A = this chain, B = another copy of it.
Amino acid sequence: MDIAQTSPAADYPATARTTPTRHLERAHYDRATVHAILDADFVCHMGFVADGLPVVLPTLYARVGERLYIHGSTGSRPLRSATDGLDVCLTVTLLDELVLARSAVHHSVNYRSVVVHGRATRVTDEAELTLALDALVDHAVPGRAADCRPADAKERAKTAVLRLDLAEVSAKVRAQGVGDEPEDMDLAHWAGLIPLDRVIGTPVPDPAVPEGTALPGYLRHLG
């Protein structure tokens, strides 16, 4: 298995479709920004074209170096058609704040997003499949892959994993205050930011877990 690694210092090259038509200052191409956003979430929206029309589905993903992995049933529509590769656009969006301006048009959202364009290919190498399946569990709950029963041969055969290399990638970040027009600054409307946060709650054990069972170490900070 050969996982290509590019120098983490190098930027992803900007292309026509990763260059926004507006707010160029929000676009970022450096690996640190892109990786940080990808690592802060675990559900993406994957778009593909079916019969000439767009389809967007939410799906779990994991990042391993310069690769993203997603998975699904071998029977699912996008994965069935991905044997020879599937052109996808994979987008991850984190919402940070609502921005309430004095004027309607300057209402906005502070957010961090990553858009990845590319051709996803089916993972067939058994070692890479193991790595990807572990990563998909660990990306959402670090430490969990080592604390569950791994997929057996039958389960692996039913699971399709796609790989999408991070090559044509951009991040977009808005992290600013209210951007009202100077002539609106004296209007009496309240203006400001409303923080949005994703909160991870206290784990709820399955009823069959014996009473008094301690949370595993990688979940203990949530208990």
Instruction: Please give the residue numbers on chain A whose beta carbons come within 8 Å of chain B beta carbons, in ascending order.
Output: 17, 21-22, 43, 45-50, 52-58, 60, 73, 75-77, 87-91, 93, 95, 98, 100-105, 107, 109, 111, 113, 115, 117, 133-134, 137, 140-141, 144-145, 147-151, 155, 158-159, 177-178, 180, 184-185, 187, 189-209, 213, 215-216, 219, 222
Contact = CB atoms under 8 A, between A and B. Distances in A.
Contact of A222 (B76, B134, B144, B194): B194
Q: In the complex this chain forms, how many copies of it are found?
A: 2
Given A22-B75, A115-B57, A149-B103, A209 B192 contact: yes
A95 B201 CA distance: 12
Contacts of A192: 203-206, 209
Given A21-B77, A194-B201, A107 B148 contact: yes
